A and B are shown apart, each in its own frame.
Chain A
């Protein structure tokens, strides 16, 4: 065995060891690496009351009620992932992108009555990028109602509009 070959084998062996160590570590910490808990997991896993965690999902269509809570501007809405929905109360200014059907991540605690008291609400942007004209066209043609969730698959709209505008 030449020195080069030996060095290469040592390198590959270390790589395999390091890779599996990293994979095992990451899978062991899997639950704490997630940024937020989905509403259906709140129902099953039930974090201890009073424990701060992040709740993530879509703002349920027709659930947003902008109101004053304790004399300050706030909002009540429900966060859903299709399976379950959690009612949320938030006092403060909502981000610009907040709307029904938008992904949001709220930081707060679960009250004993099952209402999530949010201290911070972040808007989660999805991986879709489309100009206003395309969004309007999809809405008008009935292909997409933004209140109901993410837009249809890109293949259905991205090729249709491309030739018209010269790409």
Chain B
């Protein structure tokens, strides 16, 4: 009994130290990402010089993800329409399905789904590309040639993703609302016209930010932030890769995991800021 107590007494400080180390490592990692973001933003003036790379990043990201965004967006809209429609039908409120689908897609589902798809396809590819460059000495080669790696590698990816994310979100919102309309008409007996009228009414212009509906621009702002965050996390993980192929795998995994967590956490805080604060 006394021995067990002694062992427990020895293990407790060790466990506490382990927790402290993990917390410090988490803070260091987030600090590195914020530093990378700030250092890259200081180079925003280089964007015209990197226009071709930014365009390539946008094009590749768009091509890689468009079909997935179309498919997932369509089905998400159909699911939201079906789930809410069943409940609304019990209350005789089916005419509100369009409102709910439009607001859900524009505020939350569009940016969230697009961010997740970009993380899985583009974020992972960025981490793997830069990670491979790191383990094959290409990053060192840029360093010894005095070439600004942030301007050449990080800036185009950051700007490219921050620009393509809202465009893809817009596509996702649109196909989601259309998907919702199919289900409303086919399974819930809500006419296309009624559905669309309620959807368009829900997204009323606000006279602010190009006269866009608040729910739409709030979603697009989220998408810009998600795009920038995904690029920052992926670039940071890629740039610090060591340890050959295993290291590239580790970096890719960390980039995807941390970006998805980042999307969820940032989503909450941005929603709170834009709708409650």
Chains A and B come from one and the same complex: no
Q: Which B residues contact A (CB, under 8 angstroms)? A: none
